[in-house]
Amino acid sequence: MGKAEKTMSLCLTSGKLLLRYGAETYRVEETMYRMAKAAGMHNVNTFVTLTGIFLSFRTDNEDDFLQMIRVRERYQDLSKVTAVNQVSREFTHSILSIEEAAEKLREIKKAPMNYPVWLINLASGIGGAAFSYLIGGSFIDIIPAFIGGLITTLTLVLYQKFLNVKFFAEFLAAATGVLAAVGLETGGLVQNMDQVVIGTLIPLVPGVPLTNSVRDLMSGDLMAGVARGAEAAVTSLSIAAGTVVSLSVLYF
């Protein structure tokens, strides 16, 4: 494999990892551009959408290279985004060779999440409980909101293992969380039902996609910004639909 092919593979791998784990579109494009320029490529052009990455450049021998890859899965792990950014900085400053940078990217790809799943679930429950208190102001309902948020996160992970449709998994997780909140109310553990339901659903709110959508729109990446906004909107609709369906079945 020649230098151009190695550079293409390195840049696309960096871009794919960044986009997959929650980086903004402009960050992905700029990272690939800088890495390709640092490798000695000319006429570098990058174009990134929410599901695909395009990269083209010209070598010293006037050979043109163009490649596109698909990104089908997206997660939220900003620690990996930070790690890829560090690799790109070290590569552009000639601290790492192409081979060394590629090896570091493989390690980042294989690395597990920085936090164990149980801690993430626990943090989701605590976040839901804290937010419910900010909304309702009732200390008594913090515990039911914590339980509801924890159940919502656990069921979301479970549904995503068996379903290929992300939004349907979020719909079912929202419905399950609200059913759990209603069950707690039936058991006499809830005073303010609205507060508990809000705390239960907070772990599902698409905060990172919504923030990235605004940042992409502000940076001029209109296509990616609208796509991320649409993703956040569909997620919000899934949460609302799951809530409405579960409450309608129980109360009407």
Task: Give the percent of the chain with pLDDT over 90.
Answer: 37
Query: In which order are the strands placed within the sheet that holds 64-70?
Result: 42-48, 52-58, 64-70
Q: CB neighbours of 79 closer than 8 A, spacing ≥ 6? A: 113, 114
Range 180-196 average pLDDT: 84
DSSP 252: -
- What's residue 132's pLDDT? 86
- What's residue 125's pLDDT? 87
For residue 62, which amino acid is it? E
Q: Which residues of 34-65 are buried (b: 16+ CB within 10 A; e: fewer)?
A: bbbebbebeebebbbebeebbbbbebeeeeee
Question: For residue range 118-157, what is the model confidence (pLDDT) as tens digits?
Answer: 888 888 889 888 888 888 777 888 888 899 899 999 998 8
Alpha carbons 84 and 14: distance in angstroms, whole number: 6
Alpha carbons 177 and 242: distance in angstroms, whole number: 9
Range 177-204 average pLDDT: 86
Give the pLDDT band of residue 53 (cuts 50, 70, 90): very high
Write down the pTM of the prediction.
0.77
Question: For residue range 60-70, what is the model confidence (pLDDT) as tens digits?
Answer: 888 889 999 99
Using DSSP's 3-state secondary structure scheme, residue 8 falls into helix
DSSP line for 95-149: SS-HHHHHHHHHHHHHPPPSS-HHHHHHHHHHHHHHHHHHHH--STTHHHHHHHH
- What's residue 175's pLDDT? 92
Range 242-252 average pLDDT: 80
Alpha carbons 232 and 223: distance in angstroms, whole number: 14
Range 173-195 average pLDDT: 86
Question: For residue range 74-83, what is the model confidence (pLDDT) as tens digits?
Answer: 777 888 999 9
What are the two backbone dihedrals, phi and then psi, of residue 65, each rounded to the nearest 5 degrees?
-125, 135
Alpha carbons 127 and 232: distance in angstroms, whole number: 19
Whether the Cβ atoms of residue 15 and residue 55 lie closer than 8 Å to each other: yes
Alpha carbons 110 and 103: distance in angstroms, whole number: 11
Distances (CA, A) of 71 to 50, 216, 243, 245: 8, 18, 30, 32
Whether the Cβ atoms of residue 128 and residue 199 lie closer than 8 Å to each other: yes
